[in-house]
Amino acid sequence: MQPSSEASSTPFPASELGRALLAYGEERRIAAGEARRELGLNELDARALLFVAENPGARPSHVRDHLGITSAGVTTLIDRLVQRGAVRRDLDAEDRRVNHITAIVDLDTPPWCALRAFDARIEEAVARMDAAEAGRLAALLDQLVASARG
């Protein structure tokens, strides 16, 4: 049976830009998976570690909110990262009920740099581009992402 319209017979995505964006996302997903396997981390632990590294002294509730998990889940997750020697808990000097979480591994050195290696290579490629062109592409991508969110 023949497709009823030309649009339905067109491979998804139909545009070169759409194809390139999907390829970027897939390559980033593959690189992140390889890094997590190399480090022996699950996806949530890796995301938490990256968040804590970017937000030193974050409270567990900030990690919980960022990841969209339960309080019990974030406690277990942080316990795993502490046991791995990736983060530490520090008591708040003014309120001993409050913990602050800080990364104690250097995400810029092996083996931990694997978590950000793909993004670092992308940044290197962007740095070699014409700044005005990079700015236009960034604006276009921001617009596309905003449109896709609805």
The predicted-structure confidence for 6-44, as pLDDT tens digits, reads as follows 444 556 777 999 999 999 999 999 999 999 999 999 999
Across 11-107, the runs of DSSP E, i.e. the strands, are 87-91, 99-103
Mean confidence (pLDDT) of the chain: 92
Give the global pTM: 0.81
Contact in structure between 38 and 114 (CB atoms under 8 Å): yes
Question: pLDDT value at position 146?
Answer: 94
Across the chain, the runs of DSSP E, i.e. the strands, are 87-91, 99-103
Percent of the chain whose predicted confidence (pLDDT) is above 70? 92
Largest separation between any pair of C-alpha atoms in the chain: 72
Q: pLDDT-based confidence at 96, cuts 50/70/90?
A: confident
Residues constituting the chain = 150
* Stretch 100-121: mean pLDDT: 97
- Measured distance CA(43)–CA(137) in Å, rounded: 29
pLDDT over 60 (residue 2): no
Peptide bond into 110 cis (omega under 30): no
In angstroms and rounded to an integer, the radius of gyration of the C-alpha atoms of the chain is: 20
